[in-house]
Structure 1
Amino acid sequence: MPTDDLPETFHVTTDDQLRAVSNLTRHRIMAVLRFEPATITQIAERVGLAKGSSSYHVRLLERAGLVKVVRTRKVRGVTERYYAMAARAIVLPDPGEGGPDVLMRHAVADLEASPADGERHVRMAHLRLTEEQFAELGARLEALADEYRELSDPSLPDASLVFALFHPASRARAEGDAK
């Protein structure tokens, strides 16, 4: 099933769905399935899991509606299932004030687990922008990410792009929280 046939977005709305995507192993499984379907064995090999663990996590993702079986075939009397993402993008609910941002936690864990000798581009910049500049920068970052997602080729190595554009907590509020 090519990714062109997938719905554009899947909105995480239930507690079961949120629990499913909150797990780092399941996040990594979804990354494997982002561009092409895979079997439990293929997923286990790519993520570095035992097949039983891989199967467990995929079943939880399937029950939550985040992945689905897109193809089956018989192999020596056993039905082999190919799983794919349920949509091209998963949209998480806003964690709310003080809540954990699951996406950013997974991104940091993936960055920390990436090869130390591999090429990485990591940067943090503090900016002072008008609301219009802030909105424009956000739109440009999203458009750039979409442009490169369209260029993605499943035969090429994985690369992750994560960005966060936000207004930090005010200094007075942050100092009040520390007391």
Structure 2
Amino acid sequence: MATDDLPETFHVTTDEQLRAVSNLTRHRIMAVLRFEPATITQIAERVGLAKGSSSYHVRLLERAGLVKVVRTRKVRGVTERYYAMAARSIELPDPGAGQPDVLMRNAVADLEASPADAERYVRMAHLRLTEEQFAQLGARLEALADEYRELSDPSLPDVSLAFALFRPAPRDQAKGDSK
């Protein structure tokens, strides 16, 4: 199965799936598999893991249904498995009150691990928006991400885009947390 034939979205619904996707190493493995299938050896090289560790994490992702074997081939009497994402994107449930957002936590960890001298754009803006403006901006950000995802070419270097549009906790609630 080519990555073009994948379902659009995989909805994380079980605790096992959430635990699997919450781990930073498995998050990075899924990033490797985002555009093209790879073997355990290829995954280990790209993520910087030992083959045994890579195999362990891929098995957990496979058991959770997040990745799957898309083809096999015999190499010197050994069956080589190529793994790919189970869908083009993964949708996580909203975190509960007081729970960390797994996606943003992993995105920040990836940003912190990126080379300090690499080109990157990081910006935070504080805005005051109506409900309508908030919804419009959210839709524009999603459309822009989708537009560039369609332009993605597996032969080009990886680029990660993370954005969060949210309303912060009310000031009185935030003050109450600091007591």
Q: TM-score, normalised by structure 1?
A: 0.99
Tell me the alpha carbon deviations over residues 81-120 of structure 1, each in whole angstroms, 9 at most, x when there is no partner: 0000000000001002111100000000000000000000
Question: Could you tell me which amino acid in structure 2 is paired with residue 64 of structure 1?
Answer: A
Question: Where in structure 2 are the equivalents of 1:35-46 lying within 5 Å?
Answer: 35-46=35-46
CA separation in 1, counterparts of 2:176 and 2:125?
A: 25
Determine the structure 2 residue equivalent to 1:54. Answer: 54
Determine the structure 1 residue equivalent to 2:104. Answer: 104
Matched, 1:65 2:68: no
Question: Could you tell me which amino acid in structure 2 is paired with residue 88 of structure 1?
Answer: R
Determine the structure 1 residue equivalent to 2:122. Answer: 122
SS at 2:4's partner residue? Answer: helix
Determine the structure 1 residue equivalent to 2:135. Answer: 135
CA separation in 1, counterparts of 2:119 and 2:178?
A: 37
SS at 1:30's partner residue? Answer: helix
CA RMSD of the aligned region, Å?
0.5
Matched, 1:113 2:110: no
SS at 1:13's partner residue? Answer: coil
Question: Could you tell me which amino acid in structure 1 is paired with residue 175 of structure 2?
Answer: E
CA separation in 2, counterparts of 1:36 and 1:3?
A: 6
Question: Could you tell me which amino acid in structure 2 is paired with residue 78 of structure 1?
Answer: V
Question: Could you tell me which amino acid in structure 2 is paired with residue 125 of structure 1?
Answer: A
CA separation in 1, counterparts of 2:178 and 2:98?
A: 13
Determine the structure 1 residue equivalent to 2:74. Answer: 74
1:177 offset after TM fit, Å? 1.3
Tell me the alpha carbon deviations over residues 117-145 of structure 1, each in whole angstroms, 9 at most, x when there is no partner: 00000000000001000000000000000
Q: TM-score, normalised by structure 2?
A: 0.99
Aligned residues: 179
Deviating above 6 A after TM superposition, structure 1's stretches of 4 or more consecutive aligned residues are: none
CA separation in 1, counterparts of 2:39 and 2:92?
A: 25
Question: Could you tell me which amino acid in structure 2 is paired with residue 25 of structure 1?
Answer: T
Question: Could you tell me which amino acid in structure 2 is paired with residue 138 of structure 1?
Answer: G
For structure 1, which runs of at least 5 residues remain unmatched after alignment?
none
Question: Could you tell me which amino acid in structure 2 is paired with residue 166 of structure 1?
Answer: F
1:3 offset after TM fit, Å? 2.1
CA separation in 2, counterparts of 1:22 and 1:72?
A: 28
Matched, 1:83 2:88: no
Identity %: 90
Determine the structure 1 residue equivalent to 2:158. Answer: 158
1:69 offset after TM fit, Å? 0.1
For structure 2, which runs of at least 5 residues remain unmatched after alignment?
none
